[in-house]
Each structure stands twice: as C-alpha cells, then as structure tokens.
Structure 1
Amino acid sequence: MSSNKYIYKATRSNDDDAETLVSPCFHVGPEVQLKEVPTTGEEYLLKVIKERQNYSTITKCNKDYSKFSKNQSCFIEETKPAKAPDKLKPTIEWQNIQVADFSDVRMYLSRIQTKKTLWPSDLKKISVEHDSLNGWKQFFNTNEPTLTCVLGLKHTLLDRGLEILTEILEEVKPGFTVDYKTGQWIYAFLACTRQPLLSDTISILRNLARKCAEIRSCINPEEEDAPFAVTPLNIFICLVARYFRQYDLAD
C-alpha cells in the first residue's frame, strides 16, 4: 500500500476552507461509475467516499451551552450519612443475623412469586394514585403489610411506596423513632423489592438508609429505651448496606 499522503478538500459550502490530511485505505479506479444503487463492492465504496466528502472531519457545536453549565456536575453529590453513637451502633454479628433472616424471607417470597398456585386466594388489587401522598398514607393506615397486599404490587408501585415511606420518616421528630406499623411496611417493601436493582431503586434505598441514620443520630444513647428505639433503624440501614450492597452506608 502506498505511503503517499493525499489531501481531500471538503465540498460543503459552509466548510470550504477546511482540509483534511488522510491516507486512503482503498483505491477506486477511474473506470468505476457513481451509481445511486451500487451493484459492486467498488461502486459501494465510491458512494461511501463521495458521501464522506460532504462532512467535515471535525463536527462542531454551533450552540452556546455555557449558560447551562453553572452549578451542574456529572456526579450527584450525596450527603454523608449521620454516624451512629457508639452505644447504639450494631455489631457485625447482629447485622449478619439480620441479613440471614431477611434472605430467608426473600427466598420464601421468591418461591411464591414463581408459582402463582401458591398465591393467597384473597390477593388484593391495589389501587393507589401514584403521586398522592395522602392516598399512600391512607393505604398504609387502612391496610396491613401482609402477602395479600404486597405480593401483587408492580415494580413501579413498590419503588414509589418505598419512596413515600421515606417521606413519612421526615415527620419523625428529633429523639423519636419510626412507629411500629410504618416499620412493618418498610420491611415488607424491602422484602418485595425486585433484583437486579434499577438505578432509581438504588437511589430510593440509599435515601431511606440516610434518613434512618439521621433519625438514629438524634436519639439520646443514654435513654433507657434507646436500644429498642434504634433497632428498626439499624435493621433498615443494615439491609440497604449489606443485603442490597450499598456498602459505603454500612455501620
């Protein structure tokens, strides 16, 4: 193959002064005619060459997007989770037990989901307005987190329900913890969360863990009932971090 360099000049009217220095990989003889529908390999190659000459080597953006670049980043900055007081921090042995118990629940649900003959006969059809906070609150208050309620929920409803439960945790006052029924719902939704996780689901899980860590950090470790108050919070943080593999949030 010849090592000679050839200069091809672009034929576009708005790029007449642009020149490119290239080495042709293939040579097309002068006897080859340009056809609208190529019938041979050389005719096809000639058509590609001609079409390529209509485009500049470097594509430039003619619009100014600099005004949109302020306060923007290709990364999402997350706040670091609040640290647990030493007296309330769970041991790794305790966390392993929670993950093992949760895995058993997930396996049980998985067996039921794969065999609809095992589904409860009184399975409820859930009708909740997707973005209605009051509608979700009413649903959580008037129903119990049983298989008949959660088993048939679609992936999008599971994600949205878990997101609403995290918003409900915003109402927990400093020094208090999650109420028992809300905790049951969170555990039930975590147990039904589909894997592999979608990016939106991961974000929701991480928000839940950070919120639980924030609530836990406001509980006085010297209070007599402090170990009981932080237990559900420790469980949710543990499951998000160690079962769903968001290890940077782990205690």
Structure 2
Amino acid sequence: MGTEKKRVIYNARNTENDDEEPSKCFQISPDVEMKEIPITGEEYLLKVIKERQQCAVVTVCDKDVSQFAKNQSRFYKEPAGTKTAPDKLKPTIEWQKIQVSDFSEVRSDLTKILVMLMKTGKMEAKAKPIKIGDDTLEGWKLFFESNDPTLSCALGLKPDKLVRGLEMLVEILEEVEPGQTVDHKTGQWIYAFLARAWQPLLSDTISIMRNLARTCAEIR
C-alpha cells in the first residue's frame, strides 16, 4: 500500500489486555463520499460500515419461546385425523437406538469422505452427479429404478437435487396402495437422501421430511 497511512489493511492490536477497544483493521479516508452504488474499495467499505451501524449489536427474539423451546414445534399442528401407530407396530427403544446409531455413523462417514475429497481435489472423480432427463415424477421414477443408491451417487447429490428428490419420493410413497408396502429399492433411496441431507436444514426441507415421515406412518 506504499506510504499512504490513511489506508491500513491490518493494524496489530495489543492482546495483553483483552478488555481494551480493538483497533480497526480498515481505515477510510475522510474524503471518501457515501454512494448508493460503490465504485472503489473504500466506497464499498464505507457503505458496509454505514449499513452495519444501522443494525442492533444484539438481536433479541421478541416471541415467547417458553412454549416451544423443548421441541421446536409451536408453529406446527398435525392435521386432523392423524392416527398413531398401533402398539404392536411400534419399534422397541433398543431397536430405535441401534438405527439412530447406524444412521449417525453413516452420516459421519459421508462427511469425512466429502472433506477428504474436497481437500485432495478428487470430488469430481469420485462423485456421480445426479442427472434427471425429465424433471417430473415419471422421470424421477425412471432414475430411481435404473440406478442404485451407491456412495458415488450420494456424494453427487447437490442441495437442489436433494430437495427435489425428497419431494418425488413423497409422491412415490403416496401412490402405495392400501395393504402394500414400500419396495426395498425405494427404501434404500430414502435412506441415502436422508443420510446426505445438508445441514442446517432449511424450513422447506424440514416440511418435506415431515410429509415423508407422515406418509411412511400412514403406509405402516
């Protein structure tokens, strides 16, 4: 930056006293004018600083969270007529713990593999992109029937395809006739999509997963 002291990118602070006011990393010349559309770097920084000054330092929730803090379901109500599973079909606690443990292990392994592939630059070579010729229910049915939910497919799931695929899986489940069950391959794809779900989950994804769980419960 030469000898221009008015433009300082980094100014080391004394860390011996953590209570002191931190020094500014950026200093902007007083001659810089505020513009709606910044052109230079200093104009952009000035605009960011001015916008930041209009925001509260701490954002406080103005809603009473005491009613839904435990389960985060205050704003959701099960539709009328929803039936609980018969006692004889309810899985045991031991079985549930085993499934949760196995599922968590799969998700953890996927995350480790993703991180390793991104670090080594081998993501494109190992991940199989999900390509749907016809983005309709029939097109997704053909994809699910023609492909296995392999590791490479799971790694290749992009966020948009993951959400869209979950929507299609819900529609496929809704076509299951009374007295019939979910076929094995569809079940495998459901597992793969859930294991690969990106976190934190968006509200739309959570809504789709609710529909998925409810539809599975109805089939059961």
Query: For residues 147 and 119 of structure 1, what CA distance do their matches in structure 2 show?
Result: 12
Structure 1 position 76, deviation (Å): 6.3
- 1:1-251 to structure 2, matched below 5 A, reads 78-79=78-79, 81-116=82-117, 117=120, 121-128=125-132, 131-216=135-220
Aligned partners of 1:189 and 1:120: how far apart in 2? 19
171-180 or 79-88, larger mean C-alpha shift? 79-88
Please state whether the residue corresponding to 1:115 is helix, strand or coil: helix
Maintained 8 Å contact 2:140/2:165: yes
Aligned length: 142
How far the C-alpha of 1:150 sits from its partner, in A, is 2.0
Where 2:192 maps in the other structure, the secondary structure is helix
- Equivalent pair of 2:130/2:161 in contact (CA under 8 Å): no
Shift of 1:83: 1.2
Stretch deviating more after TM superposition (141-150 or 184-193): 141-150
Q: Name the SS for the 2:198 alignment partner.
A: coil
Aligned amino acid, residue 188 of structure 2: Q
Q: Distance between the aligned counterparts of 2:106 and 2:141, measured in 1?
A: 25
| Residue deviations 1:148-193 (CA, integer Å, cap 9, x gap) | 2121111111011011011100111111110000000000000000
Structure 1 stretches lacking a partner, 5+ long = 1-74, 217-251
Q: 1:82 touches 1:210 (CA, 8 Å); kept in 2?
A: no
Structure 1 counterpart of 2:85, one-letter code: A
Distance 2:78 2:160 in 1: 23
The runs of 5 or more residues in structure 2 that have no matched partner are 1-74
1:147 deviation in Å? 1.3
Greater relative contact order structure (CA < 8 Å, 6+ sep): 1
CA distance in 2, matches of 1:82, 1:139: 33
Larger Rg: 1
What residue number does 1:68 align with?
A: none
Q: TM-score, normalised by structure 1?
A: 0.53
**Structure 2 counterpart of 1:83, which letter?**
T
Distance of aligned partners of 1:103 and 1:203 in 2 relative to their CA distance in 1, 3 Å threshold: same
Distance 1:76 1:84 in 2: 20
Residues 120 and 147, structure 1, Cα contact 8 Å, conserved in 2:
no
